[in-house]
Amino acid sequence: MVPTKFMMAGAAVAAMVAGGAVNALAATEIQWWHAMGGVNGERVNKIADDFNATQGDYKVVPVYKGNYTETMTAAIAAFRAKQQPHIVQVFEVGTATMMAAKGAVYPVEAMMKDAGEPFDKSVYLPAVISYYQTPQGELLSMPFNSSTPVMWYNKDAFAKAGIANPPVTWDDVKMASDKLRASGMKCGFSFGWQSWVMLENYSSWHNLAVGTKENGFAGFDTEFTFNNDAVKGILGKVGEWSKDGTFLYGGRRGDSLPMFTNGECGMWMNSSAYYGGIKKQAKFAFGQTMLPLDTAVASKPQNSIIGGATLWVLKGHDKGDYKGVAKFMTYLSSPEVQAWWHQETGYVPITTPAYELSKKQGFYDQNPGTDTAIKQLSLNAPTPNSRGIRFGNFVQIRDVINEEMEAIWNGSKSASAAMDEAVERGNALLRKFEKANK
């Protein structure tokens, strides 16, 4: 479903071009480096092309630079060489690194103000915008592709196994897994982006701190606290379940997706942004529901936290260029564009007007459950434990957590030993980052 206004923009300006109102040769190029490959890369190109068709002063040029880590690394290297793009897409765990890049970042709220571009940050979803604000409330980067993990489930497999409702608690996950396996499935459930799903979001969902200093938001002199009884408890259970096929591990990112879409596992926890891929690949009816609650830890869920990425503006270009960047940010955040992006990809609409437009267009009625991510993020006002995380070197720290989790799944370490080791190794990387950025 493509909103009518979104489609009409190009046609309207095409007529202007034909009439000689736009001189494309005079357009100022705005470089946008991103990490969206495949179909989402094509969607990024469409957004840029459609914006370019609305005016002739600026031309946004999207450039794919590899995965999230590669894109951020390339942008930092380019800035040092004075060849930086105007805009770079950076995933959420790179926020602290970008903030520490002294002199490189042009805070998007300040940029919009300096460019004279109207900007109302009150329309952005609180759980999205709070992740990227300073303690004083200034927005550092523009939300773009935000998602949160959900529980995907195979409706046909549930019906065959006699499971009436999707799981609400972790006990439900175990019971559903037993029935799915008894009905012939290879495994009950799997998940991807395991640190994000099983540590960062598990903690937020149960209002538990990942680290001190408000999960790093209040200072770089933070230490990890995720080696608590709750995290050790759930990871220990999953480790036990990996022995009998209740849980089957399939990789650190989205590698385990085929295990769900091929019908090996009846449930899969990962980003809401896999909607497009699952819709294309799955040959069965599927649904999504909220993350399971660990009733031994909390009586009700708090809120989940986002993943995905935002668009950071880099300094060092002509002042006039930033007027074009600001206009593009306004276009990108418009209800029509955001509703289209949300409906095509499964990323959440970053503004309330985009969410309301999707409802008005009947998207949630026609695709039940596709508002699960929005409901999770908006369940309660974020607390210091559930606002998100902002730790330096967290890209490397996630690798440490992944290694220690994999040791649990393969049985070489207990959950307690693995999480203690992850905290010790992670804290060493925090001190390294703190020392480098004092």
CATH number, domain with residue 45: 3.40.190.10
Q: Which two tokens stand for residue 183?
A: 């009905």
Looking at the structure, tell me whether residues 167 and 130 fall in a common domain.
Answer: no
- What are the DSSP calls for 69-103, one per residue? HHHHHHHHHHHHTT---SEEEEEGGGHHHHHTSTT
Note whether residue 381 is domain-resident. no
Note whether residue 291 is domain-resident. yes
105, 99 in Cβ contact below 8 A? Answer: yes
The residue among 316, 351, 366 that closes a domain is 366
Q: Is the pLDDT of residue 13 over 80?
A: no
- List CB contacts of 305: < 8 A, sequence separation 6 or more: 127, 131, 148, 200, 201, 204, 377, 386, 387, 388, 389
Note whether residue 348 is domain-resident. yes
Looking at the structure, tell me whether residues 312 and 199 fall in a common domain.
Answer: no
Q: Is the pLDDT of residue 91 over 90?
A: yes
Note whether residue 417 is domain-resident. yes
Q: Which of 419, 322, 427, 338 is nearest to 374 (CA)?
A: 338
What's 201's DSSP letter?
A: I
Looking at the structure, tell me whether residues 158 and 283 fall in a common domain.
Answer: yes
d(CA 274, CA 308): 12
Note whether residue 182 is domain-resident. yes
pLDDT tens digit sequence for 108-143: 999 999 999 999 999 998 888 888 988 788 999 999
The four Cα atoms 370, 373, 379, 384 give a dihedral, to 10 degrees, of: -170
Note whether residue 174 is domain-resident. yes
Looking at the structure, tell me whether residues 101 and 168 fall in a common domain.
Answer: no
Note whether residue 407 is domain-resident. yes
Helix (H, G, I), strand (E, B) or coil at 153: strand
What's 317's DSSP letter?
A: S
Q: The tokens 């608590």 sit on which residue? A: 228
CB atoms closer than 10 angstroms to residue 24: 9
Number of domains in the chain: 2
Q: Which domain holds residue 51?
A: 4-147+307-366
Looking at the structure, tell me whether residues 97 and 134 fall in a common domain.
Answer: yes
pLDDT for residue 245: 95
Looking at the structure, tell me whether residues 299 and 322 fall in a common domain.
Answer: no
Burial of 411: CB neighbours in 10 Å, binned 0-12, 13-18, 19+: exposed
Helices H / strands E in the chain, number of each: 21, 9
d(CA 147, CA 145): 7
Looking at the structure, tell me whether residues 142 and 287 fall in a common domain.
Answer: no
Note whether residue 372 is domain-resident. no
pLDDT tens digit sequence for 137-165: 899 999 999 999 999 999 999 999 999 99
Q: Is the pLDDT of residue 320 over 60?
A: yes
Rounded to the nearest integer, the mean pLDDT of the chain is: 93
β-partners of residue 46 are none
pTM of structure: 0.88
Q: Which amino acid, one-letter code, is at 392?
A: G
Looking at the structure, tell me whether residues 164 and 291 fall in a common domain.
Answer: yes
Q: Is the pLDDT of residue 1 over 70?
A: no
**Which residue did the predictor score with more confidence, 387 or 48?**
48
Looking at the structure, tell me whether residues 135 and 156 fall in a common domain.
Answer: no
pLDDT for residue 107: 96
CB atoms closer than 10 angstroms to residue 91: 20
d(CA 273, CA 369): 13
Q: Which of 207, 154, 149, 205 is nearest to 176 (CA)?
A: 154
Looking at the structure, tell me whether residues 280 and 244 fall in a common domain.
Answer: yes
d(CA 115, CA 109): 10
Looking at the structure, tell me whether residues 200 and 290 fall in a common domain.
Answer: yes
Looking at the structure, tell me whether residues 143 and 153 fall in a common domain.
Answer: no
244, 177 in Cβ contact below 8 A? Answer: no
